[in-house]
A and B are shown apart, each in its own frame.
Chain A
Amino acid sequence: MMDDVKRKYVIPGDVITTGPYRAEENVHLYGDKIIATTVGISEIYDSGVRVIPLTGMYIPRIDDFVIGIVKSHTSLSWELDINSCYAGILPAQDVFGRDFNPKVDDLTSRLKTGDLIAARIANSDRSRDPLITISDRDLGKIEEGELLKISPSKVPRLIGKRGSMIQTIESATKAIITIGQNGFVVVSSEEPEGLLKAMEAIKMVEEQAHVPNLTERIQQMLGSNSE
């Protein structure tokens, strides 16, 4: 399966291929040419073509798991910083339930400016700011942990193949790491040492995302530090 995927480094304007392929992420179709629109690694698989970006900001997509920072609120909703060009909108009904009454309920009693929340993008379209929800399992306010900001394009590298990278870091440091697709990462741990080590490892992944065998290097780094 992996062998059928053709990879290539591309910059905007590079013609990836011509022919009957589906143009997927970060490419556009011009005549019969499929052209990259961003700096990244192009992939041709099955009948689709896409580019995995190496730079750029987070673009909200429906069902993405993100971490948001409460920026402000109106009487009906909170505004969240989701590291994108658009603010995330969290409606008050989502937190207070159906019987929310803006005359009675005070939004600051549940979430204050600066609070971190684990959330999911409920809806995102061109016409308005992305709608965010926390009504699901494992979503809601994040009570403790350190916030790290990494480039959203490095998130897949931090997670690794089938979560290998993140599992390596978590098991070596006993820290709990929550990664939002938007590049916000929350690390929490009982032991301050594990916390620092996990943060260091995450920073290392961000800096050296392009290096091969990074998981092994991280393992080495974490291993040598514990002695």
Chain B
Amino acid sequence: MGVKKTDIVLLDENGIRCDGRKINEPRRIMIKAGVLKNANGSAYIEFGENKILAGVFGPRDVHPKHLANTDRGIIRCRYHMQPFSVGERKNPAPSRREIEISKVIKEALEPAVMLENFPRTVVDVFIEILQADGGSRCAALDAAAVALADAGIPMRDMVSACAAGKVADTIVLDINNEEDQEGQADMPVAYMPNLGKVTLIQLDGVLTPQEYEKCVNTALEGCKLVYEVQKKALKEKFFGDDAQ
């Protein structure tokens, strides 16, 4: 309906993208830590048009007990989209896509959280997508990392995530919904900025080796920008005005 595939100009001759951004410009990012009272830790993120809430519980007792690990803790993660988060009502039951994203977010957080300090326990991460707009897995991961830090769960490093991709034969930072649908490649990357380690990398599309390298580096630059916003959110909550 409406706009045909060819009608969107993803990148114009001046290097301006369909939403007015430059090639290396991320969308607006706003994070607020500690927004929920009943969760041990929480965060709210606005990443472009994405609006996402993350709540964290734990470490706490594992139920059912057979999931518990005797020599380390475990993480459980639920990524869930609200029925009203997308244009057409989304069935609230977990879809194939949501189950996959829950799994990759869990695995992206695992290297950062010091689970070996909490044997026989679980850290529960709940992520609710209130409004979705492309790149929600990265935004969800950013919120989840801030929520974990807010809960005071020991972490080796923060996890910052950002996507990059290929649009109109050009590598661009932070793919939005239109670029995701019409573009040539989408690559979400999660990164521990102080340890310099990648905890998540996915690629949907075809890239040459040169493009691949450029895409990874672009995404990592994005992660570093996100990290600054995460840092600011935590410092604002815990140190208020006297944060340096």
Contacts and interface: CB of A to CB of B under 8 A. Distances in A.
Interface string A23-52: 000101010010101110000000000000
A59 B73 CA distance: 14
A185 B158 CA distance: 33
Considering the complex of A and B, which 3 residue pairs feature the smallest CB-CB distances, nearest first? Answer: A56-B152, A55-B152, A13-B157
Interface in B155-188: 155-158
A9 interface: yes
Contacts of B40: 57
Interface string A185-224: 0000000000000000000000000100000000000000
A101 to B, nearest CB: 30
Interface of B: 40-41, 58-61, 70-71, 112, 114, 117-121, 149-158, 192-195, 231, 234-235, 238-240, 243-244
* Most central of B40, B193, B239 by chain A CB within 10 Å: B239
Contacts of A85: 58-61, 118, 121
A57 B195 contact: no
A156 to B, nearest CB: 15
A28 to B, nearest CB: 6
B151 A55 contact: yes
Given A85-B60, A126-B119, A28 B238 contact: no
Given A57-B40, A126-B71, A210 B150 contact: no
Interface residues of A, number: 27
B149 A35 contact: no
Given A55-B41, A210-B240, A39 B157 contact: no
A102 interface: no
